[in-house]
């Protein structure tokens, strides 16, 4: 489990079927077998060499995320070690399981921040996009500033600290990014679908405070 608060960045390259990541700043403690989020993808540390570590990665992960392209180009990735029980939950709950890819549509520099507009590629992802809701982009916990349902585009505001300490500043229009929806939204969706399949009365899909209490919320 992660929080989407990036601890460091690294340079990625592929050696046969293994990914090697060179940590470029902020070396953090890790051990063989630890979980590390690499651009938002939960991977397991296989070997450690000073400021480098390696991870195994499946063909499915390379195909369904940005890691395949980035490893061939030796690009920069965001890194976050797994959450400790004693850690602060600075972002939001992130599982490290990518739900789909997005494409950078626009990057706008403002006086004190940047606006990054992303179009999601999976039509089913739109149900997880909520105005002012949380979203994970390349492993970064961010807040949706606005979204356009018809254009399937959402915009996030990036503060200078996040811009300069993650790989967002390396993005160009047309680049792909990994997206993970807020886990809480997916649990609510599961609950609603379960109740619907059980033929329970959802009062014409009108969710009230009483209904939430009855269903454990």
Inside any domain, residue 88: no
Query: Do 127 and 61 sit in the same domain of this protein?
Result: no
What pLDDT is stored for residue 86 in this prediction? 86
Q: For Cα atoms 147, 40, 122, give the angle at the middle one, nearest 5 degrees.
A: 45
Same domain, 104 and 180: yes
Task: Give how far Cα 121 sits from Cα of 64, 83, 124, 137, 167, Å.
Answer: 12, 29, 9, 14, 21
Is the pLDDT score of 28 beyond 50?
Answer: yes
101: confidence class by pLDDT, cuts 50, 70, 90:
very high
> What is the model's pLDDT at position 202?
47
* 173 and 108 inside one domain: yes
Cα dihedral sign for 27, 156, 82, 79? negative
- Tell me the pLDDT of the chain averaged across its residues: 88
Which helix (H) or strand (E) segment is 71 a member of? helix 67-73
Is the domain of 131 the same as that of 178?
yes
Closest CA to 4 of 139, 128, 134: 139
Specify the pTM: 0.85
How far is CA 67 from each of CA 6, 24, 41, 70, 177, rounded to the nearest angstrom? 17, 18, 9, 5, 10
Instruction: Kindly report, residue by residue over 109-128, the tens digit of the pLDDT.
Output: 999 999 999 999 877 788 88
What is the CB neighbour count within 10 angstroms for residue 165?
17
pLDDT tens digits along 150-170? 668 999 999 999 999 999 999
> Where is the domain boundary, 81, 114, 143?
81
| CA atoms of 162 and 159, how far apart (whole Å) | 6
Q: Which of 152, 129, 33 is nearest to 81 (CA)?
A: 33
pLDDT beyond 90 at 147: no
**106 shares a domain with 50:** no
Residue 42: CATH number of its domain: 2.40.30.20
Percent of the chain at pLDDT exceeding 70: 92
Which residue among 26, 47, 81 closes a domain? 81
Same domain for 165 and 108: yes
Say how many domains are in the chain: 2
Q: What is the mean pLDDT of residues 180-185?
A: 88
List pLDDT tens digits, range 74-89.
Answer: 899 999 999 988 888 8
Give pLDDT, residue 169.
Answer: 96
User: What residues make up the domain containing 156?
Assistant: 100-184
Question: Phi and psi (nearest 5°) for 69?
Answer: -70, -45
- Which is more confidently placed, 196 or 42? 42
């Amino acid at each position: 489990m992660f929080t989407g608060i990036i601890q460091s960045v690294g340079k990625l390259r592929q050696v046969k079927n293994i990914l090697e990541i060179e940590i470029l700043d902020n070396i953090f403690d890790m051990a063989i077998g630890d979980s590390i989020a690499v651009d938002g993808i939960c991977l397991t540390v296989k070997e450690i060499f000073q400021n480098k570590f390696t991870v195994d990665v499946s063909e499915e992960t390379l195909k369904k995320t940005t890691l395949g392209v980035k490893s061939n180009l030796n690009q920069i990735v965001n890194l976050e070690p797994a959450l400790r029980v004693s850690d602060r939950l600075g972002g939001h709950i992130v599982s490290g399981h990518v739900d789909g890819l997005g494409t950078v549509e626009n990057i706008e520099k403002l006086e004190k921040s940047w606006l990054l507009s992303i179009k999601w590629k999976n039509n089913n992802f739109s149900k997880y996009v909520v105005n002012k809701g949380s979203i994970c982009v390349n492993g970064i916990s961010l807040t949706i500033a606005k979204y356009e349902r018809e254009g399937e585009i959402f915009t996030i505001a990036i503060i200078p600290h996040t811009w300069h300490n993650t790989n967002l500043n390396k993005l160009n229009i047309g680049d792909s990014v990994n997206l993970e929806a807020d886990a809480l939204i997916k649990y609510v969706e599961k609950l609603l679908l379960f109740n619907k399949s059980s033929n329970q009365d959802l009062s014409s899909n009108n969710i009230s405070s009483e209904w939430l209490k009855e269903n454990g919320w």
